[in-house]
Amino acid sequence: MISGMYLGETARLIIAECACSKLLFNGRISTELKTPGRFYTKYISEIEGCVGPTRVLFTPKTGAGPGMGAPLTKSGG
């Protein structure tokens, strides 16, 4: 239980570091991702499970996802 509480924050720190290193999102990082406690553990499951009617694919070509000015790619499943 306790370890799960910090998984989202750990993921946020890793994603933010990758973005700052220009490995994700072309180096652009949102205010929310910069804010401690704003990336919840449930987001990891949602991303992994591609919850919703549309899967959003993050590709090296676009370098970004929703809210970052990248086109969305729809795929089944």
| pLDDT by residue, tens only, the chain of 77 residues | 567 778 999 999 999 999 999 998 888 888 988 999 888 888 888 877 765 555 555 555 544 444 444 444 444 44
Structural domain of 72 = 1-77
11 vs 1, 43, 54, CA distance in Å? 17, 10, 23
Question: In Å, how far from its chain's centre is CA 64?
Answer: 9
Q: How far apart are CA 23 and CA 1, in angstroms?
A: 31
Domain count, the chain: 1
